[in-house]
Structure 1
């Protein structure tokens, strides 16, 4: 394997468990880097770690083993996968037929994830480097998986890519598969789709939402891929008003209703500008007993662009006006652009600004099958709050 000289600071960092290789870690730029190559990181000629080259804009590669003499073969990766799968056993015993089996660097291989959707297993490659080793990794994965129906892959780094069947490992590939989560069904998109269509890590939020919508009017804002609408309706909501800016969300919502045998008679669905809807709802003094909102890192709007760091407080202040007395509000985000602490601060300021008093019922982070590499991140990218109006 090629040897790459790193700085003393980088050597200490990698020996401590930090997995991501950046340009500042190198003594000199890599000459003729080969995407996907396995390399040995050295400091003053002494081996430090084994890694692979990713050569994306900010991520040059990922450390795979602090043992620089480690042979990076199928046996090594099979052990890595099996170790991760054992950790998922308590999760797979729960009332869900979908689970994140492998979560990137938190499980030992940065740049890839593995999801099991009722036996349909999807491998997602996050960079071209790890995808170059797909033959080796898929062979190791097949050896480690106790059982599966079909194996698929997705090149997430390629904006035009769709989910494809792995040759020789998908005897009967499916375009969709039904998964079940505590009695709620979801239709997962597979062959030919750009994404599965459901954030599995939102599972704990859906669970609490379903328990708290009986007989209530529910507003779901930016619900795309969250599964909130079905959870609210199966929880007994008398009406859901569902607002999304992405046109394709409508198709997904129809599939969500069909797989749960819901006729949509208790729904009002709108594909429109979020700020435009909030202005409309305030003008008409609409009130809801449960509100969910999934805040993206940013979005473009005719009423002004949104950046979660700068604009979350103002947006949540508008939302506060729509909450009925004793309303439950679920605020989530899938981005690491905002910490849970900052989300909590902005939420408190927003409701105080509107003269509303709230109490925090719970907070959310990724469930057990989405472990976080704490050497790389302080907390999971996904986070959320459940607050209740108490004025």
Structure 2
């Protein structure tokens, strides 16, 4: 790997020296030196003083990540082993927890290597690569995993642009191929996972704490509406917590079979539950028309979605989405409002909530708020990398 001197402007240099991990495109004053993703970058100020070492790798957030602020530290096998070993040690409590067998083992820049995540699924490992640049160093990562973990098998997902085409695929890498779906545990609940079936695995690990809260505090005796339900994980949590019924709504046709699968592995009679394959916004209109009300509504939309009728952007449309949810939530009922959009803060998210309730003429109280769980390690100084924002709200009247 080549090492290239990259000149950064004063403002970015100050941020990088303080610990900011992302190399932004507009930070670079000599962009003509950036040739091949995977090249190592020696970041220097206008006086050619060393700031940090990183790598060149285009992704939606920037053009690369800082790896070390020690000029003498080599970016080699030992570097990757030190970072991955430390990440595994930080999660030693998870290893001892027999009730949760799926979690994030390595979380990108939070564990020292931006653009790389590693998830653990009961002995199986899923490595996700977010740029061509970090993917060029895969031999180090897989070498480290071969050395320090006893994997049943390793799979990978590539999530980066190639010749203008977005790639989101997964592949078997090594070990004994899994007989999918495998069943993992999360706080004692069962979830079916497939690591070799397109972009998704069957469960979003970052919502573990939210599912536990829904199960333990807000479900007993209630009818729960789970919108953008994907594979019905929130519905499983609600029923595990004593919900009398769940309604799961998602536009994707495969959500029906996947939700039935998740119910089945938990011994839940799926025929006693409502599973709707339809646009969530159409369902809101249907519910209003039929005067349906729910004790709990779960809102966990994608940051951006497009159907034949609608285009949804959480940055622009979350307030309207909440208004629809408020209209069909019982008095004293609860709304679990969640977003994974990193482009706005929790403070901004709360303004969406406030505007929605004011427009609806309804009072509310935020009972809980949360962000990423502990295994999704982030730097406290840079909250913009802690993308998950969740508020559990009670509708007061």
TM-score range, shorter chain: over 0.9
CA distance in 1, matches of 2:312, 2:253: 18
2:21 aligned residue: 19
Equivalent position SS for 1:157: strand
1:72 aligned residue: 75
Q: Which of 169, 187, 191 lines up with 1:162 in the alignment?
A: 169
Matches within 5 A, 1:21-100: 21-31=23-33, 33-43=35-45, 44-56=47-59, 59-94=62-97, 95-100=99-104
* Aligned 8 A contact 1:49 1:65 in 2: yes
Q: CA RMSD in A?
A: 2.1
Q: Rate the CA distance shift 1:337–1:251 in 2: closer, same or farther, 3 A.
A: farther
> 1:245-286 deviations in whole A, cap 9, x for unaligned?
222222321221121122212211111122211111111111
Matches within 5 A, 1:1-391: 1-9=2-10, 10-31=12-33, 33-43=35-45, 44-56=47-59, 59-94=62-97, 95-145=99-149, 147-157=150-160, 159-166=166-173, 169-211=174-216, 212-224=218-230, 227-374=233-380, 376-378=382-384, 380-391=386-397
1:57, distance to aligned residue in structure 2 (A): 6.4
Q: What is the TM-score normalised by the length of structure 2?
A: 0.91
Structure 2 residues not aligned, in runs of 5+ = none
1:163, distance to aligned residue in structure 2 (A): 2.0
CA distance in 2, matches of 1:164, 1:175: 13
Equivalent position SS for 1:371: coil
CA distance in 1, matches of 2:306, 2:87: 39
Aligned residues: 388
Q: Rate the CA distance shift 1:144–1:17 in 2: closer, same or farther, 3 A.
A: farther
Equivalent position SS for 1:124: strand
CA distance in 1, matches of 2:375, 2:61: 27
1:375, distance to aligned residue in structure 2 (A): 5.2
1:194, distance to aligned residue in structure 2 (A): 2.6
Q: Rate the CA distance shift 1:346–1:42 in 2: closer, same or farther, 3 A.
A: closer
Equivalent position SS for 1:30: helix
Q: Is the deviation greater in 281-290 or in 172-181?
A: 172-181
* Aligned 8 A contact 1:178 1:186 in 2: yes
CA distance in 2, matches of 1:192, 1:208: 29
Q: What is the TM-score normalised by the length of structure 1?
A: 0.92
CA distance in 1, matches of 2:119, 2:299: 25
Equivalent position SS for 1:40: strand
CA distance in 1, matches of 2:232, 2:390: 12
> 1:77-136 deviations in whole A, cap 9, x for unaligned?
101111111211234444311110100011100000000001101110011110111011
CA distance in 2, matches of 1:12, 1:349: 37
Q: Rate the CA distance shift 1:64–1:379 in 2: closer, same or farther, 3 A.
A: closer
Equivalent position SS for 2:229: coil
CA distance in 1, matches of 2:58, 2:318: 34
